[in-house]
Structure 1
């Protein structure tokens, strides 16, 4: 038993990535990247065509608007160097805020899931545990969609209010500019002109534009999940034909074992591919040192 425990320790533990650490790393990288962008803009501010308010605010505002792919047109590069800077900044920077929002959403969902599923903690039956896992997966997808759409609606509302009271736009124009900004259209007929408005936009645009992108992504995920569940229900409801029996009989021994049936149905549902099965099979063959079709304790001991 002591030797077996030693073997288990050598195998290591499953790596885990914390959503909190992802958010922390993304925030640090984003702040550093924006700082670099502001510094570059500061030293090249004469090479930009802009309606100026404050150099630092304008620099941060331009970096955010560029990073979020909005492009109002109120600040634009004029020289070759500043144009190349803008190209690189948008290509690299958009990935930072995408990682940041992904981590934040994952963290919020983890908290919600932990709270909502606290009552089912300690269930021991396999069938009940499986049902709970399925429900958790569906609920998680629905929470992601609801959370993302809620953030989008909130951002549009907050943006419209700030534009009305800070930028002194009418309610229709405020709502118009808010939606055009959140959806990253940015026609350029309306933009943030005041220093206060640009400070607000520097924070608001980071959240709102990515919230829209995440909402569409989660809606697509929900549709795919619904399609997969329908496919699984159809596959499991079909009786086995002779041709399916022959296909499921992996080792060609004249009968289909439970494991062979499970693997075949997983392939039908698209949960596993032939390449995945071959990789697992090759791993099994390496562990089966005695070539007896099963892994024994002696096989494990012989590898350590």
Structure 2
């Protein structure tokens, strides 16, 4: 049984196993001064409780959304005052400014409205880099969420292998398998709903472009796909007042929906890898119990 830390001394005592007797002078090692003192650790607990590490939060994009709205407002005001220095097919000053700011930040860049002066070109460069930075923040938050989820899964798997006895292994396998299957089914359902919403958005965008912008069905679908993937060749775009009002909301919703769908696909892959990893740990624990 492990002995307690020696009070008042900078020594760590190694645990004794069985009836083994070791000279206490050989058991003591000085603690490195560069390592922080672990004064809050109780006997038998070398690590904090797993509940402390299992605090995984869903990615919050509230600050990103607030920052995006702020940048959109600033960009709209700037492009409105510089609207005479933007060339292309214009409809309304405020509408064109919001529309141009959206297609710049989302890096769609149709090309129907383009900057035509030094100031507008520099401003467009700033907002295009800002859009890339926003995408990077969103991807970073999603990646942090997936990493935290992986860490949570690993800790849960290790805790289960430590807590289960040899008589409870089979029951633990069945319970954990049902739980993970439920999680995978839940994420798959969300993925299906998001994919269905994305298909609906594609159909709505295609029909709208064909009906309002008077594009051919193939050209309308081509414009929708180039928008969703932020390709934005510019040969097909929204050129009417109603079309640009629609584009302001449709571009944001559809691109965010696509990003959400990709996150769910990655999460499904993560859950399946976790299921395989837990099975490996449980089987290994079972084999260890049989051998011992």
TM-score band by shorter chain is 0.5 to 0.7
- Cα distance, 1:64 vs. partner? 0.9
- Cα distance, 1:206 vs. partner? 0.3
Q: Alignment partner of 1:156: what SS?
A: helix
Of 158, 161, 169, the match for 2:207? 161
Mapping 1:211-290, distance limit 5 Å? 211-238=257-284
Instruction: Show structure 1 runs of 5+ residues with no match.
Output: 1-13, 104-125, 246-255, 257-304
> Structure 1-normalised TM-score?
0.57
> Which one is further off, 157-166 or 135-144?
135-144
- Cα distance, 1:87 vs. partner? 2.7
Indicate yes or no: 2:241 matched with 1:195: yes
Seen in structure 2, the aligned counterparts of structure 1 residues 205 and 94 have a Cα distance that, compared at 3 Å, is farther
Seen in structure 2, the aligned counterparts of structure 1 residues 217 and 18 have a Cα distance that, compared at 3 Å, is closer
Q: Alignment partner of 1:231: what SS?
A: helix
User: What are the superposed Cα offsets for residues 85-144 of structure 1, whole Å, 9 maximum, x if unpaired?
Assistant: 223323334666886xx99xxxxxxxxxxxxxxxxxxxxxx9698667534532332133
- Cα distance, 1:73 vs. partner? 1.0
Task: Indicate the structure (1 or 2) with the bigger Cα radius of gyration.
Answer: 2
- Cα distance, 1:189 vs. partner? 1.2
Seen in structure 2, the aligned counterparts of structure 1 residues 139 and 239 have a Cα distance that, compared at 3 Å, is closer
Q: What is the Cα-based RMSD across aligned positions, in Å?
A: 3.8
* 1:33 and 1:93 in contact (8 A); partners too: no
* 2:180 and 2:271 in contact (8 A); partners too: no
Which position in structure 1 is the counterpart of 2:86? 48
Q: Alignment partner of 2:222: what SS?
A: helix
Seen in structure 2, the aligned counterparts of structure 1 residues 32 and 83 have a Cα distance that, compared at 3 Å, is same
- Cα distance, 1:28 vs. partner? 4.2
Seen in structure 2, the aligned counterparts of structure 1 residues 55 and 150 have a Cα distance that, compared at 3 Å, is same
> Structure 2-normalised TM-score?
0.60
Q: Alignment partner of 1:73: what SS?
A: coil
* 1:159 and 1:204 in contact (8 A); partners too: yes
Indicate yes or no: 2:119 matched with 1:81: yes
* 2:180 and 2:275 in contact (8 A); partners too: no
CA distance in 2 between partners of 1:69 and 1:146 (Å): 27
More helix by share: 1
Mapping 1:4-153, distance limit 5 Å? 27-93=65-131, 133-153=179-199
> Which one is further off, 86-95 or 140-149?
86-95
Q: What is the count of residue pairs matched by the alignment? A: 210
Q: Alignment partner of 2:237: what SS?
A: coil
CA distance in 2 between partners of 1:88 and 1:140 (Å): 40
- Cα distance, 1:59 vs. partner? 0.7
CA distance in 2 between partners of 1:45 and 1:179 (Å): 28
Seen in structure 2, the aligned counterparts of structure 1 residues 17 and 238 have a Cα distance that, compared at 3 Å, is closer
- Cα distance, 1:36 vs. partner? 1.0
Which position in structure 2 is the counterpart of 1:300? none
Instruction: Show structure 2 runs of 5+ residues with no match.
Output: 1-53, 143-170
- Cα distance, 1:213 vs. partner? 2.3
Seen in structure 2, the aligned counterparts of structure 1 residues 213 and 27 have a Cα distance that, compared at 3 Å, is closer
CA distance in 1 between partners of 2:185 and 2:286 (Å): 32
Q: Alignment partner of 1:49: what SS?
A: strand
